[in-house]
Structure 1
Amino acid sequence: MIIPHPLLGPRDAAEFVYLGDASLIDRPDPDLPDAMDRFHDYLYLRDNPAGQHRELWYHEQGDRSWLVVTRDTTTHEVVKVELARDVALARGRGK
């Protein structure tokens, strides 16, 4: 599988480490009263969809960037690739 890195161009997936669902960017606020329940769900409850899914990938054998890859899990077609930093900043995270 080829991942079109937004900064480096097409890269072989072997250069990357798959880290799971991109919703990991949305870490719960530990100061909320129900933080324990939210962290339980954050850590253990994940969807396993067939079709388009947003995933975190780490470019371990390259520039060490984190990417959000939107990929079709049934065909492995890469639909969209974004820098995870940009995704987090767009959501008001990473400040």
Structure 2
Amino acid sequence: MLLINCPWCGPHNESEYHYGGQAHVPYPENPADLDDRQWAEYVFYRDNPKGPFAERWMHDHGCRRWFNALRDTVSYEVLATYRLDEPRPEPRITDPAGEQR
């Protein structure tokens, strides 16, 4: 289980949260101008990186607020959490030798 730090309520078990997908996905500027392929890409296509990945989470069994989390997809470690109105922080990753990079 992951321990996720809600920006408003503090750390809680991941079972109290609801995953909301990739963070920082911009809404199309002119949605009426998109064809079916472009809508499919907006709705369904998401990044799948190895390493730090920004995600949306909601504290379902707590304050019920949405926030962003920066999580390492290799180690599953939650590197940072931040409110939707805050900028994405730079990740601090600890490698297997214990060195931060």
Structure of larger gyration radius: 2
Gaps of 5+ in 2: 88-101
- Give the aligned partner of residue 40 of structure 2: 40
Q: Which runs of 4+ in 1 moved over 6 A?
A: none
Matched with 2:92 is: none
Task: Kindly report which structure 2 residues correspond to 1:1-95, keeping only aligned pairs within 5 A, or say none.
Answer: 1-24=2-25, 26-30=26-30, 33=33, 35-36=34-35, 38-84=38-84, 86-87=85-86
Q: Report the CA distance shift for 1:38/1:8 in structure 2 as closer, same or farther (over 3 A).
A: same
The residue identity in structure 1 corresponding to 2:6 is H
Write the distance in 1 (CA, Å) between the matches of 2:31 and 2:43. Answer: 17
Q: 1:12-45, CA deviations, whole angstroms, 9 ceiling, x for partnerless residues?
A: 1110011111133x21123563x33543321122
Give identity over the alignment, percent: 32
RMSD, matched Cα: 1.9
What whole-Å deviation, never above 9, does each CA across 1:65-90 have from its counterpart, x for those lacking one? Answer: 00100000111111111112x14xx6
Q: TM-score, normalised by structure 1?
A: 0.76
Instruction: Tell me the number of residue pairs that the alignment of Structure 1 and Structure 2 aligns.
Output: 85
Indicate the structure with greater helix content. Answer: 1
Alignment TM-score, normalising by the size of structure 2:
0.72
